[in-house]
Amino acid sequence: MSALQSLPDRFPSLTADRNATDIAAARARGTCDVEQLADYLYGGREERQLRDCILAILEKEPLFSKAPRYFRSVEEALAAGLAWSRRIIELRDQHRWSGKELELALVLLDEFLPVSIIQPLLRLQCTPEQQQLWLEDAENWRIVGCYAQTELGHGSDLSRLETTATFIEGADEFEISSNGFTGAKWWIGGLGAIATHAIVQARLIIGQKDYGPHMFMVPIRSLEDHRPVSPSITLGNIGPKAFGGTNFVNNGFVYFDRHRIPRAYMLARFARVERDGTYVRPPHAKVGYAGMMLLRISLAQESGWALARAATIAIRYSAVRRQFADAANEEVPVLHYPMVSSRLLPLVAQSHAIIAGGRQLDGLFARLNADLAGNDVRLLPETHALSCCLKSLCTKMAADGMETARRSLGGHGYSAFSGFGIMYGHFVSTNTVEGDNYLITQQTARFLLKILQQHRADPSQALPESADYFGQLDDLLATKCSVADKADWLSADIQQRVMARRAVRLAVELAQLLLQQQQQEHGRIHWSALNVPCWRLSVAHGQCYLARAIATEAAVLARKHSSLAPTMKRLSDLFFLSIVEAHLGDFMEDGSVSPRQAALLRGQLDDTLAELLPEAVRLVDAFDFPDYLLDSALGRRDGQVYRALWDRAMSAPPVNAMRDDTPRSLHDTTPFGYTVMLCCPLIYRDNSTIIAANRNTL
């Protein structure tokens, strides 16, 4: 091994060193202030310092080494997930981390761990007495919870869940039943191996009446021996996931065969069942949405950071990867090819736009929560619609962007050591969970239709901030895009109008379709026939929102740190320009953007890309991801990509032990060596019986 491992050292003056020079040169090309920008993105220097303190603790833990991550079997990964979960809770207790500090640690670990799934739900859905029963235990890892909504046969449609919770009056209990194997809870994170408690969504049945889905706390595994608490519970693991994603989470199933729980275990902050079977309804229907909204909002926010990670790896690598020589016979960093930079730079702009948009949505949610305390629900529809809209849009943008980034790196992007495979595998599930991305946009579209109706009915009424552009409806539809020169595309006003016009135009068209339908179908509405236009409208609204968010933040930031102004403005422009370019048909098909303006847009896009190119590496440096988090041979801050690829290959488990040390006999004891000897050519000539004997053991 040692001869191999030292190879890069035997050639110190060659390309590996050029990596270091290249990344330094790429940094020197820009001027933007990395520290200032990073402070801004993280909301202050303290936040970053806090993160670094936690990082230092995690990096000291051998258990938290990321080196083995690509070499584990499914089972080993599940086991590691448990060990990591356990250990992170110990560290939290040892260092007295706050909830937020634990969050920071989990981000750095970069694995989904089933450590705090039900705590938010307990806070939102339980009575104070119920909180006392479970909350502290859950926080202290004395019990581990999971959230069991989805079933084998149903997910999105809560109202058709097969699981029932039937009130048994005399016993003062509920009987939980799966009612058939397709009613088994399925996909439940944490349930596969570790959870002791499940918050189960089940249709509440009292008498013969179905009150629809409600939540029930069901203890499932014994706190003494970890076995199912009753023979009426059958549970297990649902098996591995695509791309080896989220493989630290033990997703599981549970089947209830008329399993009994006390009446007091129905989560009863809003709705409840009295001892005599009286049902007490919640104060308003959507009151249970807060938890879901919170999750969607955090998924939208995470998307920005996830995409930023992908952009960081890709831009750093392509700043040092040289391929083909220019006129001066110098090999060119591939980032300098427009075909590469035009794929990568927009990802940086998108990251910023999503982070900015997520931050604003978060602010809205905070206001809603404050209002809710005073039973004021007015912000609820807007927050709900926007959280659906951005969750859908941003998680898709980030997942697609990751693959755009990876595929722009040539062969090395396909190495597991690039860090991309696992990043995508983990992340892409966000497109499905907490409401399928395509499905939930229907909520946003319906909200916008209501806004449209409201504005038409009474133009003087104030509109929710995120949809206030509907107030300019007539003006927007009456005027065409006024761009006359390519630089006009940089006008913040024009940008906002173009984005807004597309959205209102799509809303008006959708309203017309709806009207047609009602006329043809005698007043009936089939929303399902309209889900494509709903989705298009939601996308348009979300992009409009993000474009405004990044433009606003760029303007604010420019006032605070004038040195950042030009770069932030360009990022904001790039976001706008690349979105319009990607959806050009949408903007042209109502004639609002003319062919000539489209050509000008492409020209401006090229210019903006060229202006941002020198800042590329600084911009991703400002995302300030520690190497430990990126865990990428290609995304290293020091640019030493070849050395990293080399070293990681050399340290790859047993396979490389074969290199210098191929077993000489067929009776070699390492399984891999044995297989090679069985299968490699020399044996074919004379030893097929040995192979036959061993074939089925492989």
Q: x/- site string to ligand FAD, residues 526 to 555, per CB under 6 A?
A: --x--x------------------------
Q: x/- site string to ligand FAD, residues 332 to 371, per CB under 6 A?
A: --x--x-xx-------------------------------
Tell me whether residue 47 is one of the annotated catalytic residues: no
Radius of gyration of the chain from Cα atoms? 28
What burial letters (b/e) apply to 609-629, b meaning 16+ CB within 10 Å? beebbbbbbbbbbbbbbeebb
Beta strands 145-148; 197-206: pairing state: parallel
Which one of a copy of itself, ligand FAD, none is in contact with 82 (Cβ closer than 5 to 8 A by kind)? a copy of itself
| Residue 190 assigned ligand-binding role | no
Which one of a copy of itself, ligand FAD, none is in contact with 149 (Cβ closer than 5 to 8 A by kind)? ligand FAD
**Beta carbons within 8 Å of 440's beta carbon, 6+ residues apart:** 296, 388, 391, 392
Identity of residue 343: R
- Shortest spacing between CB 241 and ligand FAD, in angstroms: 6
**In this complex, which beta carbon is closest to ligand FAD, that of residue 321 or of residue 548?**
321
| Residue 180 assigned ligand-binding role | no
- Shortest spacing between CB 340 and a copy of itself, in angstroms: 8
- Shortest spacing between CB 243 and ligand FAD, in angstroms: 11
For residue 248, give the nearest of 375, 374, 66 by alpha carbon: 66
**In this complex, which beta carbon is closest to a copy of itself, that of residue 49 or of residue 73?**
73
Task: Give CA–CA dist 436/390, Å, rounded.
Answer: 12
Task: Give CA–CA dist 122/130, Å, rounded.
Answer: 8
**Beta carbons within 8 Å of 439's beta carbon, 6+ residues apart:** 156
147 binds ligand FAD (CB under 6 A): yes
Q: Which of these is catalytic: 302, 382, 434, 615?
A: 434
Which one of ligand FAD, a copy of itself, none is in contact with 270 (Cβ closer than 5 to 8 A by kind)? none
Give, as ranges, the residues between 557 and 596 that touch ligand FAD (CB under 6 A). none
Give, as ranges, the residues between 221 and 250 that touch ligand FAD (CB under 6 A). 246
**In this complex, which beta carbon is closest to ligand FAD, that of residue 65 or of residue 156?**
156
**In this complex, which beta carbon is closest to ligand FAD, that of residue 404 or of residue 552?**
404
Query: Are 83 and 251 contacting, i.e. CB atoms less than 8 angstroms apart?
Result: no
**In this complex, which beta carbon is closest to ligand FAD, that of residue 214 or of residue 548?**
214
Which one of a copy of itself, ligand FAD, none is in contact with 188 (Cβ closer than 5 to 8 A by kind)? ligand FAD
Task: Give CA–CA dist 688/81, Å, rounded.
Answer: 42
Handedness of CA 156, 159, 161, 163 (dihedral sign): positive
Burial (CB count within 10 angstroms: exposed 0-12, middle 13-18, buried 19+), residue 337: middle
Which one of ligand FAD, a copy of itself, none is in contact with 655 (Cβ closer than 5 to 8 A by kind)? a copy of itself
Which one of ligand FAD, a copy of itself, none is in contact with 193 (Cβ closer than 5 to 8 A by kind)? a copy of itself
Q: Which of 115, 176, 188, 218 binds ligand FAD (CB under 6 A)?
A: 188
- Shortest spacing between CB 435 and ligand FAD, in angstroms: 6
What burial letters (b/e) apply to 365-401, b meaning 16+ CB within 10 Å? beebeeeeeeeeeebbbbbbbbbbbbbbbbbbbbbbb
Which one of a copy of itself, ligand FAD, none is in contact with 485 (Cβ closer than 5 to 8 A by kind)? none
What burial letters (b/e) apply to 537-556, b meaning 16+ CB within 10 Å? bbbbbbbbbbbbbbbbbbee
Query: Are 616 and 574 contacting, i.e. CB atoms less than 8 angstroms apart?
Result: no
Task: Give CA–CA dist 200/125, Å, rounded.
Answer: 12
Burial (CB count within 10 angstroms: exposed 0-12, middle 13-18, buried 19+), residue 647: middle
**Beta carbons within 8 Å of 19's beta carbon, 6+ residues apart:** 320, 638, 639, 640, 641, 642, 643
Residue 484 sits at φ, ψ, to 5 deg, of: -120, -20
Q: Which of 187, 256, 427, 470 binds ligand FAD (CB under 6 A)?
A: 187
Task: Give CA–CA dist 660/654, Å, rounded.
Answer: 12
- Shortest spacing between CB 246 and ligand FAD, in angstroms: 5
What is the distance in angstroms between the CA of the first residue and the CA of the last residue of the chain? Answer: 27
Q: How many residues bind ligand FAD (CB under 6 A)?
A: 33
**Cα–Cα distance list, 77 to 74, 335, 644 (Å):** 5, 36, 24
- Shortest spacing between CB 324 and ligand FAD, in angstroms: 4
Which one of ligand FAD, a copy of itself, none is in contact with 371 (Cβ closer than 5 to 8 A by kind)? none
Which one of ligand FAD, a copy of itself, none is in contact with 189 (Cβ closer than 5 to 8 A by kind)? ligand FAD
Task: Give CA–CA dist 399/428, Å, rounded.
Answer: 6
**In this complex, which beta carbon is closest to ligand FAD, that of residue 165 or of residue 593?**
165
- Shortest spacing between CB 147 and ligand FAD, in angstroms: 5
The token pair that represents 362 in the structure block: 């978060």
Identity of residue 122: L
Q: Which of 62, 94, 285, 324 binds ligand FAD (CB under 6 A)?
A: 324
Name the 3-class secondary structure at 165: strand
Task: Give CA–CA dist 455/137, Å, rounded.
Answer: 50
Find tokens 């891999």 and name the residue.
Answer: 672
**In this complex, which beta carbon is closest to a copy of itself, that of residue 236 or of residue 566?**
236
**In this complex, which beta carbon is closest to a copy of itself, that of residue 410 or of residue 459?**
410
Give, as ranges, the residues between 402 and 441 that touch ligand FAD (CB under 6 A). 408-412, 414, 429, 432-433, 435-436, 438-439
Would residue 242 be called left, alpha or beta, if left means φ above 0 and alpha means ψ between -120 and 50 degrees?
beta
- Shortest spacing between CB 49 and ligand FAD, in angstroms: 33
Which one of ligand FAD, a copy of itself, none is in contact with 147 (Cβ closer than 5 to 8 A by kind)? ligand FAD
**In this complex, which beta carbon is closest to a copy of itself, that of residue 182 or of residue 563?**
182
- Shortest spacing between CB 513 and ligand FAD, in angstroms: 15
- Shortest spacing between CB 332 and ligand FAD, in angstroms: 7
**In this complex, which beta carbon is closest to a copy of itself, that of residue 44 or of residue 410?**
410
Task: Give CA–CA dist 430/498, Å, rounded.
Answer: 30
Name the 3-class secondary structure at 623: coil
Which residues does the annotation place in the binding site for FAD?
150, 189
Residues lying near ligand FAD in the complex (CB under 6 A) are found at 147-150, 155-156, 187-189, 246, 251, 321, 323-324, 334, 337, 339-340, 408-412, 414, 429, 432-433, 435-436, 438-439, 528, 531
Q: Which residues are catalytic?
A: 434
Which residues does the annotation place in the binding site?
150, 189
